[in-house]
Every structure is written in structure tokens, then in C-alpha cells.
Amino acid sequence: MFNTLRRSAVQRSCRTPSHHRTLQPNSRLAKSLDITLPRPIVEIRRSQSSTAATTSTTIPGLYRTASTTSLPTVIPSPPPPPSMAMARPTSSFYMRKLPSEKLVGYETPEGKTLFRHALEEANLEAFFPLSQQFLTQNEPAYCGIGTLCMILNALKVDPGVVWKGPWRWFSEDMLDCCRPLEWVKTNGITLSEFSCLARCNGLEAETRFADQITFEQFEQDVIACCRSESQFMAVSYSRRSLGQTGSGHFSPVGGYSSKNGGMVLILDVARFKYPSYWVPIRLLFESLIPIDTITGQPRGYSVLRRPRRAVTVSALLTLNATTGTWPTIYKPLIQLGRSAETYTELLESLCGTLGEPTGLPAVISRFEEHRSKAFAYKAGASPPLTVQPAEGLRAQADYKSRVESLHQHITANCKLYQTLQIDELAKVEMTVFLLALFSLEDFLAVLKDNVRAEVRSMVELDLRDARIRAEVGGVVQQMGGLVTCGREEACCKVSDGGERTCCAK
């Protein structure tokens, strides 16, 4: 089964920056445990677990299609331009002084007065679950994923992925389904990508850009979120507008007080730089308006909540696509769906495209037990003394067993798997990808009525199986998040004359 994971990952080497070195596991230990190690280019998702193993070296790619049904060819992407990379610091700092002329420190006497007033107004309901999960972002550009990690744990979302030991818990390095983490370390994420990540991990997310809302709407959303323990607001704002150093930043909103014309409590995840603080709500709204130079759009905020119905999280498989690659992956599939006259024709055309030698990204192993740096280290380097490679390899063996069990289950119980006439080597991954694609309302909408009816019937039959439904459900979440992100980032346009127009969401 590891050959299956290897092949599907090799076909889709499009995520980790090309300057990464190859990682080499301990082959002597592998032999002793009778484990076949994956090649260094195998793409796997990472975690902090000290008992899990990881190998990861792939190249980010762009896709170029010659026709609507031909397979995109992977073109390696150049590294980010120097202007986007974080400059190497020439000196160090211990925090920054909070601009007191605009902001009120959370721990100051005035800040405590605002806190008491907000508590009396019942506008601190969000503070208590968020404060229990308060964290400091792990990287200077991790404000977005640090904020989301904090909110996911505050909303008690089960990631379905082991963090450390037997415990499932969100950590920042799990949040990589929309952008590779190496990219995020340098460039951060946009507001749409933030919401995409939230949706990929099981939340409902409403993205609101500053030029699409009024101040009154923003104020209502702030108060509604502060009075709730089940929905939270993450703001994407310009630090300069608040008199701070830096540019764009994400943080959760923790409370609201009506004193002084309205004050909002920002739980700043860059705690190494600024403490938490109260900001006038009008000033906070104005800080959403400056244009994000990466997207050409204003900033804004996202309202996050648990889904209205329970979502079963995928445990083993994940979609191998990002916001950069998904549009060019998805477009040919939409065109095939639109042109298919029968269900059989649809299935044959999709399998023909996805099964070409260069391969469109489908799904790969989540590698929840392999995702730490426990046994993987740079070629030619000695592993750190704290590394325990044997534990990582044993976890890998356990994971391999679980994947083989899933393979056997799908082989025996999935009707679509039994219908597909393709190479057995990547058949499980292809099956899960197609079931997820056929569950996506956006894709179903382009199908002809007779094709859509047959697709729905087939999917409904296979998703009665809880184990199959769990794997497919996680991939559907990721697909849906990427589709919505693409729409949001393409929503606001700038005309030749510089005028901005936005569609309604």
C-alpha cells in the first residue's frame, strides 16, 4: 500500500518549495522493523508529534493545459520574489510599546475598567473559551494560522489527527491544506485563504471584505460574536492604521465595551510584539479598509462557527492541492463534467485525465503518525540527540497497517471502486477523490440532469458506509474551501481606471 501512496504523491509534487533538502530516514532501523521506506519525494503532511515520522521534498507547480480534456503539465514555480521574503533581521527586539494615544492596554487600569464594563454588558462570552486557548504564533508570518488554530481549539473541533501521544489537538503545523507551510512562513496568508483553511478543517466561515459592508454591519457582527461562545470573529487589519509597526495582521476579537463610543478587545497572537489591547471600534473598522498588496483587495474579517450538522473528519487521506494549484486542476474537470452526456462517459473521461502519467493531484496519505521530524533529518547530517527514530518507524508501521486496512475495506465495500477500470496501484486514492468530487455541489451543478441523477445515486450508495464517508467527507471539506477561496479572491476587480467593483456574495 505504501507503493500506492508513493505513486500518488510522486505524481503530484507541487507543494513544498524546491529549495528544501531531501530528507533521509534511518534505513537500518527500517530493515529491522521490516518496513519499506518511501522515497524522499513522497509528499506527506506534518505535525508536532515527537513519535511520528515525516519525509517531504516536492516542488510547487503551476499547471498548463493544452486542451480542456488534456492533463495539465507541471511547471515548477519560481521562488517568491525578494520583495515578498522576510528580511533577515540585523538586530533583535523585545516587544514594542503599544501606541497609547490610540489603544488601551488590556492589563492597564483603564483596560481593566473596560473589561469590567464589557462583562457587565455580557459582551465577553467569547473571551473565556478563546483565552483558554490563547497562543503565541510560532512564526513571524503565522498570525493567520495562529489565530485559526486558537479558534478551532476554542470551538472544540476534533481535528481527527494525532498531535502528541494519543491526543488529537490542533497545532499550527496541521493547517496546510490551502498553502504549504513554507510559503506561509515567508508570505503569510490572505483573508480568503484564512477562510479556506477554516472550511477545510470543519468550520463554517463567512468572509466579509471592508468595502462590501457598512460600519453598522461590522459593529453588529462584533457584538454578536462577543456575546457568543459558539461563533468567533477573526479580523484581518492594517497595523499601521492603529499606529503600530508592520503591515497586515490577523487576531481574534475577544470582547466589546460600549464605553468611549465602543471599544473592541483584540487578543493579539503576536504576543512577542504587542500585548492584547482595546481599540476604538471605528478605528478598527478603518484599519480593515487599506488594500492588501498581495490580493489587491481590502482586508476584512471572517465569522467562524461550528457547522450546523456534525462533520466526520477524515483520518487517513487528504486532498493534495493548494489555492495556487486548485483552479487549474479543477477547471478541466468542470469542463469534462459539463460535456459528458452519460454517467459512463463522465467516469471514463475523468479517469482518463486523472490517470495520465503526469497525474492531476488527487488525494494522498495524511500521515498523521508520520508528521513530525522524529526520524527524518537532512541528508548528510546527524540526527539530534533527542530524536528517537525507532519510535517514528514504529508509528509508520502502524500507519501502514491502517492504510492497508482502509484499502481492503474500500476494495470490499465501495461500488465505485469496483466499477473503475484503472490501474490498481492508485485506485483507492482515485476512488476517494471521485466520490468527493461527486459530492461537491459546485461540480454537480454543471452536470446534465440525467448524469447528475446517476451520480447522486451512486454516491449515496457508497457513502452509507461510515468509514468511506469519513475519508470522503474530509476531502469534500477541502475541495469546498478551495472553490470558495477562489471565488472570493476573484470577486473584487480593479478596472483600468483604478475603480474597484465587487460582486455580491
Query: Could you give the residue ranges of the DSSP H alpha helices within 108-164?
Result: 109-120, 127-132, 143-154
Residue identified by cell 461562545 is: 229
Residue identified by cell 492497508 is: 404
Active site residue 143: yes
| CA-closest candidate to residue 429, choices 342, 335, 359, 357 | 359
Is residue 302 within 8 A of residue 198, CB to CB? The reply is: yes
Structure-block grid coordinates of residue 263: 471599544
Structure-block grid coordinates of residue 211: 468595502
Classify strands 248-257 and 263-266 as parallel, antiparallel or unpaired.
antiparallel
E runs forming strands in 258-296: 263-266, 277-280, 291-292
Beta-carbon count within 10 A of 208 CB: 19
Dihedral Cα 196, 200, 205, 207, nearest 10 deg: 0
Catalytic residue of the set 117, 196, 226, 249: 249
Distance CA 5, CA 2 (A): 5
Is residue 272 within 8 A of residue 136, CB to CB? The reply is: yes
Active site residue 249: yes
Helices (H) then strands (E): counts for the chain? 17, 19
In three-state secondary structure terms, 193 is helix
Is residue 392 within 8 A of residue 53, CB to CB? The reply is: yes
Catalytic residue of the set 143, 196, 225, 414: 143
Active site residue 407: no
Amino acid at 137: Q
- Which uninterrupted H or E stretch holds 378? strand 377-378
Catalytic residue of the set 221, 268, 292, 462: 268
Catalytic residues: 143, 249, 268
